[in-house]
Homo-oligomer: A and B are copies of this chain.
Amino acid sequence: MLSIGQVAERTGLSVHTLRFYEREGLLLTPVRRGPGGRRVYGEDDLEWLAMCVNLRATGMPLPEIRRYAELVRQGSGTEDERLRLLREHQERVREQIEALGASLERITRKVRAYSGQASCEPGGNGR
């Protein structure tokens, strides 16, 4: 049973962001409240938030995470669609990684041209 501050620490999100995500409907359930109306989080919330952090870290937009949360909330019967959603995202992330790798390589070529004993390439403008 954790306070919002503790959850912030463990997830790496700010308390502001945690409240923001809640408003945005990213959580599976309206967060339970303790005395004085304070939020109380459980292990399950923490796990879910960790998943959200992963999805965000890989560039999934908030509306899509919300969609995923909705599916989970609706319970069994939506597994197929959840799986589809995740797999599509996986694919996008793989493409993202590939694209980054390709750009990185091009940059690396430029770096080599600079550090440049062999500034050989025609078109390798050292400028």
Against B, the Cβ 8 Å flags (1 = close, 0 = not) of A77-115 are: 001001100110110011011011101101110110011
User: Could you say which of A1-9, A11-19, A51-59 contacts chain B?
Assistant: A51-59
State whether the Cβ of A62 lies closer than 8 Å to any Cβ in chain B: no
Residues of chain B contacted by A23 (CB below 8 angstroms): none
A26-80 contacts to B (CB < 8 Å): 28, 44, 47-48, 51, 54-55, 57-58, 72, 79
How many residues in A have their beta carbons less than 8 Å from beta carbons of B?
36
Task: Please report the C-alpha to C-alpha distance between residue A89 and residue B44 in the assembled complex, in whole angstroms.
Answer: 37
Find out whether the CB atom of A107 lies under 8 angstroms from the CB atom of B93. Answer: yes
Taking CB atoms, residues of chain B closer than 8 Å to A93 are 100, 103-104, 107
Nearest-CB residue, chain B, relative to A126: B79
A89 contacts B72, CB within 8 Å? no
**Which 8 A-B residue pairs are closest in the complex by CB-CB distance?**
A57-B103, A58-B103, A54-B103, A93-B104, A83-B114, A86-B111, A54-B106, A97-B100
Q: Could you pull out 9 A-B pairs where Cβ atoms are within 8 angstroms?
A: A44-B125, A48-B127, A58-B100, A72-B127, A86-B107, A87-B111, A90-B108, A90-B111, A97-B97
Task: Enumerate chain A interface residues (CB-CB to B < 8 A).
Answer: 28, 44, 47-48, 51, 54-55, 57-58, 72, 79, 82-83, 86-87, 89-90, 93-94, 96-97, 99-101, 103-104, 106-108, 110-111, 114-115, 123, 125, 127
